C-alpha cells in the first residue's frame, strides 16, 4: 500500500460515496407510495450492501494499516445485514424492525467508539465518526419506540387511508438516510487539516 501522501483517494471520497448511497435510499423511500416492510427491507438491503462495498474499498484504498479495524468491522456487519435482509422470502415486518435495529445498534457502537478513539490521536475525521455513530444509534432508538402493530385509519377528502407502524418505521429509516446523506456530503466537501506526526529530533549521538 502506498503512503498516505501519495494516495489518490482520501477519507472525504469515502464519505461522499457513502453520502451518495444514503441519498439514493432516502429518495427511494421518500418517493415511494408503498412503505411496506418488503420495500423498506429492499431499500435497506441495497443501501447496506453498497455501503459495505464502499467501506471495504476504503480499507484498501484509503486507510493505513493501523486504522483499518473500524471500517473492516463496520463493513462486515453492514454486509451481513444487507445480505440477510435481501432474501425476499424472509422479508416481514418483524424482520425489518429486528434487523435494522440490530444493525443500527452494532454499527452505531462500532462507529461511535472508533470516532472516540480516533479523537484521542487528533484525527481530523474523528468527529464525523462520533456523529454518524450517534445518528445510527438514534435510528435504533427511534425504531424501538415504534409499535409495529400500530394502525390508524383516517380519511383525507374522499380517500380512506391507513397509517401503520411499519410505514412509520420505514419512514424513520428514510429520514435517517437523508440526514446521513446531508451530513456526509457536507463533511466530504469540507476542507480538513490533517496534523502530521512530529518528526523526532536526532540526538547528539545519532548526528555523529
pTM, 2 dp: 0.86
Backbone φ, ψ for residue 145 (5° rounding): -85, -5
Per-residue pLDDT of 96-147, as tens digits, reads 999 999 999 999 999 999 999 989 887 878 899 999 999 999 999 999 999 9
Comparison of pLDDT for 90 and 203, the residue scoring more:
90
Does the structure show a pLDDT above 90 at 192? no
* Per-residue pLDDT tens digits for 52-109: 999 999 988 888 887 889 999 999 999 999 999 999 999 999 999 999 999 999 999 9
Stretch among 3-7, 70-74, 168-172 having the lowest mean pLDDT: 3-7
What percent helix, strand, coil does the chain show, rounded to 5? 70, 5, 25
Amino acid at each position: 500500500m502506498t503512503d498516505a501522501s501519495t494516495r489518490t483517494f482520501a477519507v472525504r471520497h469515502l464519505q461522499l460515496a457513502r453520502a451518495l448511497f444514503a441519498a439514493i435510499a432516502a429518495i427511494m423511500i421518500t418517493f415511494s407510495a408503498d412503505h411496506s416492510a418488503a420495500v423498506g427491507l429492499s431499500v435497506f438491503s441495497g443501501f447496506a450492501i453498497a455501503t459495505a462495498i464502499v467501506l471495504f474499498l476504503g480499507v484498501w484504498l484509503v486507510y493505513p494499516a493501523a486504522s483499518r479495524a473500524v471500517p473492516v468491522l463496520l463493513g462486515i456487519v453492514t454486509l451481513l445485514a444487507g445480505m440477510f435482509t435481501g432474501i425476499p422470502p424472509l422479508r416481514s415486518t418483524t424482520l425489518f424492525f429486528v434487523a435494522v435495529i440490530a444493525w443500527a445498534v452494532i454499527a452505531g457502537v462500532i462507529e461511535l467508539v472508533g470516532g472516540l478513539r480516533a479523537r484521542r490521536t487528533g484525527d481530523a475525521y474523528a468527529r464525523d465518526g462520533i456523529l454518524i455513530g450517534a445518528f445510527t444509534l438514534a435510528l435504533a432508538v427511534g425504531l424501538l419506540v415504534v409499535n409495529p402493530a400500530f394502525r390508524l385509519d383516517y380519511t383525507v377528502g374522499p380517500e380512506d387511508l391507513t397509517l401503520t407502524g411499519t410505514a412509520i418505521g420505514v419512514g424513520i429509516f428514510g429520514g435517517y438516510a437523508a440526514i446521513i446523506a446531508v451530513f456526509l456530503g457536507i463533511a466530504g466537501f469540507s476542507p480538513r487539516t490533517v496534523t502530521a506526526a512530529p518528526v523526532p529530533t536526532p540526538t547528539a549521538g545519532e548526528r555523529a
